[in-house]
Structure 1
């Protein structure tokens, strides 16, 4: 699926190419399917974007276990991991699924400096990545929009 997402949304010649995602051309993206239901504040969650590097308050051993599992899945720790609900994907239209994918890609952001200029890693010259929250209730831009009534978590 990663190849389809890149070819469709990220590469310059993609059918749904969005220049807002140009920074992702050099990003490592891992994708997962789940059949586990998830909700927050009474709203169904059908997609999620996370940084690939485990974080949080799990302690050194917990982070090491999580990182080992991620490496087992993808062969390395990707910059971002996108997870999609398989049951939703089976039941939604192509346009709704594209809207979901594009929404999650908007969460996969490039860091900016205090002047809103994009940041790059000194060691590699590649973009410095971060997660982006919601603008308001939906992202503005691109060819697809949020499917109302569902929450795409970040």
Structure 2
């Protein structure tokens, strides 16, 4: 029997417990948590990918002695790229409306609060566009 906490079904501690029990797994990962080596790739080769291109890297999950190295597989898809950019185009004006206080404050991906006022986070928009089309899996 494997005991996992309810603090986040896919937390590093729960994945380690599953692995210690002998289970193998693949976990989908959100691109907002893209590893730094992807940034290194973007800096050296740009963010142009071939259809179906796969970029592999390693990432340590967990802290200290409980940290385990995991393989991260990122795949680019033209179809996903179009959909991701379409979603970004929908969210960007909504974020601007919230920042300009013409729309009610609610959770928006591209808005950060500075002091007491909401501001459009241009860095997040640029990063989302850079990661458009990529999907990550961890093993």
Which bracket does the TM-score occupy, shorter chain normalised?
under 0.3
Q: Structure 2 length as normaliser, TM-score?
A: 0.21
Q: Structure 1 length as normaliser, TM-score?
A: 0.20
The structure where helix makes up a greater share of residues is 2
The structure where strand makes up a greater share of residues is 2
